[in-house]
Amino acid sequence: MKPNFTLRLRVFNLNCWGIPYLSKHRADRVKRLGDFLNLESFDLALLEEVWSEQDFQYLRQKLLPTYPAAHYFRSGIIGSGLCVFSKHPIQEFTQHVFTLNGYPYMIHHCDWFCGKAVGLLVLHLSGLVLNAYVTHLHAEYNRQKDIYLAHRVAQAWELAQFIHHTSKKADVVLLCGDLNLHPKDLGCRLLKEWTGLHDAYLETRDFKGSEEGCTMVPKNCYVKPQDLGPFPLGIRIDYVLYKAVSGLYISCKTLKTTTGHDPYSGPPFSDHEALMATLCVRHSPPQHNPSPTHGPAESSPLTSVLREAWGEVDQGMAQAHWWATVAGYAIGLGLLLLALLCALAAGGWIREAALLLWTPSVGLVLGAGAFHLFHVQEAKSLCKTRTELQHVLGRAREAQDLGPESQPALLLGRQEGERVEEQ
Amino acid sequence: MKPNFTLRLRVFNLNCWGIPYLSKHRADRVKRLGDFLNLESFDLALLEEVWSEQDFQYLRQKLLPTYPAAHYFRSGIIGSGLCVFSKHPIQEFTQHVFTLNGYPYMIHHCDWFCGKAVGLLVLHLSGLVLNAYVTHLHAEYNRQKDIYLAHRVAQAWELAQFIHHTSKKADVVLLCGDLNLHPKDLGCRLLKEWTGLHDAYLETRDFKGSEEGCTMVPKNCYVKPQDLGPFPLGIRIDYVLYKAVSGLYISCKTLKTTTGHDPYSGPPFSDHEALMATLCVRHSPPQHNPSPTHGPAESSPLTSVLREAWGEVDQGMAQAHWWATVAGYAIGLGLLLLALLCALAAGGWIREAALLLWTPSVGLVLGAGAFHLFHVQEAKSLCKTRTELQHVLGRAREAQDLGPESQPALLLGRQEGERVEEQ
């Protein structure tokens, strides 16, 4: 049995923009961030883009007295950049690396090399089990022509599925991170609809910070106008999301963001704004929810967002198949060229030119081969996502057909007793 | 509340050896397997090495009347080879692709291209939640000098962690698959100790089949002596593992294996033997376990296996770092060679030889670069595994220090009420 009490949880989230050699004033910003975290003594500080493990180790040493527990989530070649500092002991941790994360040949975008992931921490606070997740999804470089859209939607789905399947026994679920998604973007809606997580910014009655809760604002001296694209007033892509289950009620008492400078009006900690939330968890008597989120109508938010995601992933799959085919033709072309060059060199004609062209031809065959294999794998991963979406969509439709009463039994997991209490 | 009853669960598992163009008599074997599965009407049939999606689609069509639900787990370039056929509706499914899975340059071993994974199905049977997992770990090609040992241990740990974190609300947990691990191998002990899963072969009182439960036997006409290495009498690497939680008792009533031919004494279904288990789940009054598995002694099975796994993964990490360094030197060497060749070609000396050597030099630099990045990523993934093992080891030791009474609270998740009932 859980004690009858109120749990207050102070949470800090920041994308730290900690790229070695590239991010400006990194050492100074990390130092000041450490000082601030020590002073504020949050329950949990969840950080993204701590790309340098040295920065994490520096913070770990500095924060040790206030945050005795810490973890750095390692993955990929560069790393996930995710880490966490906790005032309370961490009972368990694990991570899931996203299957799709951009393209290795888009070297200038670098995301593929990071191994972007979601990290999970299990904490026990006053008899409650808290599952805290931290994540960072693929960046958006061009909103008008976003070649990574299908990957980001697939990541949002994998994130939602990971939370869905690992949090079934948690009392409180918390997700912080840089989603690289605007609040109304498909991935964000999919995540919220499938997990039932609530957005602290939309839920709180006490918000202080940047206009419309933006977490990248033009006032921040590290933000260039092109970072904001068609949103010169700022974008909201960093989130604190939460829910409570099993007869508990969770609310966001206060939410603050920094506003282009650090909390003491000094230079900013990062090119993103920090989020500081005070969450309150208390017992709540079970009560029937008069307005179920998933109504019986065909246009319920869950089915419509699932359908939309299905369409996006399907389109991505077609694209992946197309690239795999193009690469197949390029392999054939490269092999033809190689045979021709061999014949020319053997025949003694333009021998030097033939030898000179040998390298690019071999390069073409090998490069196109790798490109082909990569896109075959991409198509397979997108197909897996599409199949999962289709299955959930099918079940959501069945639930709708049977009416709202049957939904909890059919859409198990998300609905098991949690929708009633989490309002 | 769950009804007071006995649930009988008939499960089939087989590594199908379904490699297109390479596996002998594939089409005939798949056809006969389909006939057998239809005739026997198991609750669940979990298959591995169904590498061809056409084979899956053929079986899906053939089995549709008996097994209305089916799923194929897609991943990697070739695929995970995992699929499942179920008599009961599948409520949910998801999968986790292993972070480490061999080396891309070991093309003849092919495992890296498969994207080996664990698949999860959630089923509701008579009011109980069944989490069924199917998996296939990296093959063992040379037991004396196993270069994949650290990867297989890391896969066993990831598998155990995936089950641990996704099954917290399940009533019954079932894991079937080809683990490529002998019963006393480190990975197998780690998996069983951390998840609390029981081995059907060791638990059942009614076993019929090959000697010592072997799943690769010399009598099988598709098994070559070299497949069995130093075990000419056979090896046991395919498993049915299970546990029950929340006041339930699970036992294996019967376990059968095929014995080198199909159940009608015809040619075998595969080079592996099939496993057929009848599991029985019923209510059990909670009772105190007089002999806790994790005793307070320093040498408890969990701590000792965690320590052993830590050592193995640590050694793998050192090896990965070593290869990354060697590749670093090779990159340097390749760049030097390229500079020299450029100088020679520009100076007009042995121009043709210089041009001829251009391709291998560029190849060396690019190849060594890719090799370096791969091993950096390998080291990071092994480091992540080592950190998780270290954390659990620390907590297991704390639990030991505090005595057996405190273990359930400290080693949460695995211990939450499950050890008492699952005996």
| Higher per-residue pLDDT: A300 or A295 | A300
Predicted pLDDT at B304: 93
Closest CA to B152 of B120, B197, B182: B182
Predicted pLDDT at A292: 39
| Higher per-residue pLDDT: A402 or B423 | A402
The residue of A60, A92, A337 whose CB has the most chain B CBs within 10 angstroms, and thus the best one to mutate to test that interface, is A92
* Ranges A193-197, B186-190, B260-264, B326-330: which has the least confidence: B260-264
- ipTM metric: 0.91
Question: How large is the average pLDDT for residues B382-394?
Answer: 95
Residues of A in contact with B352 (CB under 8 A): 351-352, 355
Binary contact (B94, A383; C-beta < 8 A)? no
Residues of A in contact with B93 (CB under 8 A): 388, 391
> Which pLDDT tens digit goes with each residue over A118-148?
999 999 999 999 999 999 999 999 998 999 9
**Alpha-carbon distance A231 to nearest alpha carbon in chain B (angstroms):** 36
> Which pLDDT tens digit goes with each residue over B296-332?
444 588 999 999 999 999 999 999 999 999 999 999 9
pLDDT band at A222 (very low <50, low <70, confident <90, very high): very high
Report which DSSP code applies to A197. Answer: -
Residues of B in contact with A359 (CB under 8 A): 358-359, 362
Report which DSSP code applies to A265. Answer: S
The residue of A161, A165, A411 whose CB has the most chain B CBs within 10 angstroms, and thus the best one to mutate to test that interface, is A165
CA dihedral A98, A104, A109, A111 (to 10 degrees): 20
pTM for this structure? Answer: 0.92
| Higher per-residue pLDDT: B197 or B418 | B197
- Name the helix (H) or strand (E) containing A278: strand A275-283
Binary contact (B166, A166; C-beta < 8 A)? yes
Predicted pLDDT at A399: 81
Most confident segment among A49-58, A227-236, B361-370: A49-58
Residues of A in contact with B388 (CB under 8 A): 93-94
- Which string of DSSP letters, residue by residue, matches A88-120? S-EEEEEEEE-S----TT-TTT-HHHH--EEEE
Binary contact (A381, B73; C-beta < 8 A)? no
The residue of B84, B116, B168 whose CB has the most chain A CBs within 10 angstroms, and thus the best one to mutate to test that interface, is B168
Q: Please tell me which of the candidates B77, B165, B380 has its beta carbon nearest to residue A79.
A: B380
Q: Is the pLDDT of residue B375 over 60?
A: yes
For the packed helices A149-166 and A351-402, what is the interaxial angle rounded to 10 degrees?
50
Binary contact (A115, B373; C-beta < 8 A)? no
> Which pLDDT tens digit goes with each residue over B208-236?
999 999 999 999 999 998 889 889 999 99
* Ranges A193-207, A218-232, A251-265, B349-363: which has the least confidence: B349-363
pLDDT band at B407 (very low <50, low <70, confident <90, very high): low
Question: How large is the average pLDDT for residues A385-412?
Answer: 76
Question: How large is the average pLDDT for residues A202-225?
Answer: 95
Q: Please tell me which of the candidates B120, B352, B413 has its beta carbon nearest to residue A352.
A: B352
Residues of B in contact with A80 (CB under 8 A): none
Binary contact (B74, A129; C-beta < 8 A)? no
Question: How large is the average pLDDT for residues A8-30?
Answer: 96
Q: Is the pLDDT of residue B37 over 60?
A: yes
Measured CA to CA, the distance from residue B65 to residue B421 in angstroms comes to: 36
Residues of A in contact with B91 (CB under 8 A): 395, 412-413
Predicted pLDDT at B132: 98
Rounded mean pLDDT of chain A? 89
Q: Is the pLDDT of residue B414 over 70?
A: no
Predicted pLDDT at B403: 66
**Alpha-carbon distance B185 to nearest alpha carbon in chain A (angstroms):** 24
Predicted pLDDT at B4: 65
Predicted pLDDT at A407: 53
Three-state SS sequence of chain B: CCCCCEEEEEEEEEEEEECCCCCCCHHHHHHHHHHHHHHHCCCEEEEEEECCHHHHHHHHHHHCCCCCEEEECCCCCCCCCCEEEECCCEEEEEEEECCCCCCCCCCCCCHHHHCCEEEEEEEEECCEEEEEEEEECCCCCCCCCCCCHHHHHHHHHHHHHHHHHHCCCCCEEEEEEECCCCCCCHHHHHHHHHHCCEEHHHHCCCEECCHHHCCECCCCCCCCHHHHCCCCCCECCEEEEEEECCCEEEEEEEEEECCCCCCCCCCCCCCCCCEEEEEEEEECCCCCCCCCCCCCCCCCHHHHHHHHHHHHHHHHHHHHHHHHHHHHHHHHHHHHHHHHHHHHHHHCCCHHHHHHHHHHHHHHHHHHHHHHHHHHHHHHHHHHHHHHHHHHHHHHHHHHHHCHHHHHHHCCCCCCCHHHHCC
Q: Please tell me which of the candidates A95, A165, A358 has its beta carbon nearest to residue B384.
A: A95
Count of pairs with CB atoms under 8 A, one residue in A, one in B: 117
Percent share of chain A, pLDDT over 70 = 90
Binary contact (B395, A165; C-beta < 8 A)? no
Question: How large is the average pLDDT for residues B255-262?
Answer: 95
List A96, A136, A138, A272, catalytic entry: A272
Question: How many angstroms separate the Cα of B55 from the Cα of each of A321, A366, B31, B134, B141?
Answer: 21, 30, 9, 18, 26
Measured CA to CA, the distance from residue B338 to residue B354 in angstroms comes to: 9
CA angle centred on A274, ends A273 and A276, rounded to 5° = 140
Residues of A in contact with B373 (CB under 8 A): 77, 113
Binary contact (A93, B388; C-beta < 8 A)? yes
Measured CA to CA, the distance from residue B151 to residue A23 in angstroms comes to: 35
Predicted pLDDT at A402: 73
Q: Please tell me which of the candidates B92, B115, B412 has its beta carbon nearest to residue A91.
A: B412
CA angle centred on A316, ends A311 and A322, rounded to 5° = 130
Measured CA to CA, the distance from residue A273 to residue A259 in angstroms comes to: 7
Q: Please tell me which of the candidates B96, B376, B395 has its beta carbon nearest to residue A96.
A: B96
* Ranges A53-62, A178-187, A231-240, B226-235: which has the least confidence: B226-235
**Alpha-carbon distance B144 to nearest alpha carbon in chain A (angstroms):** 30
Closest CA to B139 of B233, B73, B234, B237: B237
Residues of B in contact with A386 (CB under 8 A): none
**Alpha-carbon distance A233 to nearest alpha carbon in chain B (angstroms):** 39
**Alpha-carbon distance A411 to nearest alpha carbon in chain B (angstroms):** 8
For the packed helices A186-195 and A149-166, what is the interaxial angle rounded to 10 degrees?
10
| Higher per-residue pLDDT: A421 or B157 | B157
Question: How large is the average pLDDT for residues A282-309?
Answer: 67
Overall residue count recorded for chain A in this entry: 423
Q: Is the pLDDT of residue B131 over 80?
A: yes
**Alpha-carbon distance A229 to nearest alpha carbon in chain B (angstroms):** 33
Predicted pLDDT at B293: 43
- Please provide residue B396's backbone torsions phi and psi, each rounded to the nearest 5 degrees: -65, -40
The residues, ordered by sequence, that sit 6+ positions from B6 with a Cβ below 8 Å of its Cβ are: B280, B281, B282
Binary contact (A122, B412; C-beta < 8 A)? yes
Question: How large is the average pLDDT for residues A104-126?
Answer: 94
Please name the residue of chain A whose CA is at the shortest distance from the CA of residue B373. A77
Q: Is the pLDDT of residue B409 over 70?
A: no
The residue of A73, A125, A158, A377 whose CB has the most chain B CBs within 10 angstroms, and thus the best one to mutate to test that interface, is A377
Question: How large is the average pLDDT for residues B280-301?
Answer: 60
Residues of B in contact with A161 (CB under 8 A): 94
Closest CA to B82 of B64, B68, B96: B96
Q: In B142-179, which positions are buried (b, 16+ CB within 10 angstroms) versus exposed (e)?
A: eeeeeebbbbbbbbbbbbbbbbbbbbbbbbbbbbbbbb
Predicted pLDDT at B413: 42
Catalytic positions of B: 272
Q: Please tell me which of the candidates A94, A96, A381 has its beta carbon nearest to residue B75.
A: A381
Q: Is the pLDDT of residue A410 over 70?
A: no
Question: How large is the average pLDDT for residues A192-216?
Answer: 96
Binary contact (B412, A129; C-beta < 8 A)? yes
**Alpha-carbon distance B213 to nearest alpha carbon in chain A (angstroms):** 33
Closest CA to B412 of A169, A175, A87: A169
Q: Is the pLDDT of residue B416 over 50?
A: no
**Alpha-carbon distance A69 to nearest alpha carbon in chain B (angstroms):** 11
Predicted pLDDT at A411: 54
Please name the residue of chain B whose CA is at the shortest distance from the CA of residue A104. B370
| Higher per-residue pLDDT: B296 or B255 | B255
Binary contact (A413, B122; C-beta < 8 A)? yes
Binary contact (A358, B363; C-beta < 8 A)? no
Q: Please tell me which of the candidates A351, A383, A391 has its beta carbon nearest to residue B74.
A: A383
The residue of B92, B107, B342, B406 whose CB has the most chain A CBs within 10 angstroms, and thus the best one to mutate to test that interface, is B92
Percent share of chain B, pLDDT over 70 = 90
